[in-house]
Amino acid sequence: MSGCRKGVSMDSMDERILSIIEKNSRIDRKELAVLLGMEEADVRERLQKLEDDGVICGYHTMIDWDKTDVEKVMALIEVRVTPQRGQGFDNIAERIYKYPEVTSVYLMSGAYDLMCIVEGRTLREVSSFVSDKLSTLDTVISTATHFILKKYKDHGTIMEKKEEDQREIITP
């Protein structure tokens, strides 16, 4: 493969729309149009196209589960695999990401091949997923499981309570 990666071409407005809704997907279309100095219809059209092209893949909600009494455990799992002829890593990645326990799968450069994020209700649940399902896959050579103890920042959002405005209330 050459260096020229083909992607959906973005102009600066598309890029700005994406940056804004990446932080606030609930912003209404009219307000988005006002912020960007565009017509609302134009904004709608661009969003539709970005959705159709699969650039926008979904609208999610950031939830800090640690602030609830719901038990949740997350682990990062480094997976080393044997790539398959003609398939590379895609096939094995697919076998892994189809498990609903797996929330993310990335192909990595470096010491291991796939990084998976696995979510479960208890440590035991996640551990047994790794030992029963993941490490028993034919092409998996080894796994290393790292449990997440605390989330400080996720998707660009700092989880701690935001600081108050520190500025004087009136300044010249």
Partner 1 sequence: MTERTQKQEKAADSRRPVEEQLSRKVTELKPSGIRRFFDIVSEMKDAISLGVGEPDFDTPWHIRDEGIYSLERGRTFYTSNAGLKELREAIADKIRREQGISYDPLSEILITVGGSEAIDLMLRAMINPGDEVLIPQPSYVSYEPCAVLADAKPAIIRLRNEDRFKLTPEALEAACTPRSKILVLPYPNNPTGAIMTREDLMKLVPVIEKHDLYILSDEIYGALTYAEKHVSIASLPGMQERTVLVDGFSKAYAMTGWRLGYACGPRPILREMTKIHQYAIMCAPTTSQYAAVEAIRNGDADVERMRTSYNERRRLVLHLLAEMGLPCFEPEGAFYVFPSVQEFGMTSDEFATRLLQEKKVAIVPGTAFGDCGEGYLRISYAYSIESLKKALGRLAEFVAELRAAGQ
Q: Which residues bind partner 1 (CB under 8 A)?
A: 16, 20, 31, 34-37, 165, 167-172
Minimum CB distance to partner 1, residue 67 (Å): 20
Residue 63 vs 158, nearer CB to partner 1: 158
Minimum CB distance to partner 1, residue 30 (Å): 9
Q: What is the residue whose two structure tokens read 């307000």?
A: 31
Residue 138 vs 160, nearer CB to partner 1: 160
What is the length of the chain? 172
Residue 30 vs 124, nearer CB to partner 1: 30
Residue 34 vs 159, nearer CB to partner 1: 34
Minimum CB distance to partner 1, residue 5 (Å): 22
Residue 37 vs 58, nearer CB to partner 1: 37
Give the span between the Cα atoms of 165 and 110, in whole angstroms: 42
Minimum CB distance to partner 1, residue 23 (Å): 10
Question: Cβ distance 74 to 104 under 8 Å?
Answer: no
Minimum CB distance to partner 1, residue 25 (Å): 14
CA quadruple 89, 91, 92, 95: dihedral sign: positive
Residue 105 burial by Cβ neighbours in a 10 Å radius (0-12, 13-18, 19+): buried
Q: What is the residue whose two structure tokens read 């960007």?
A: 36
Picking from 12, 150, 158, the residue whose alpha carbon sits closest to that of residue 73 is 150
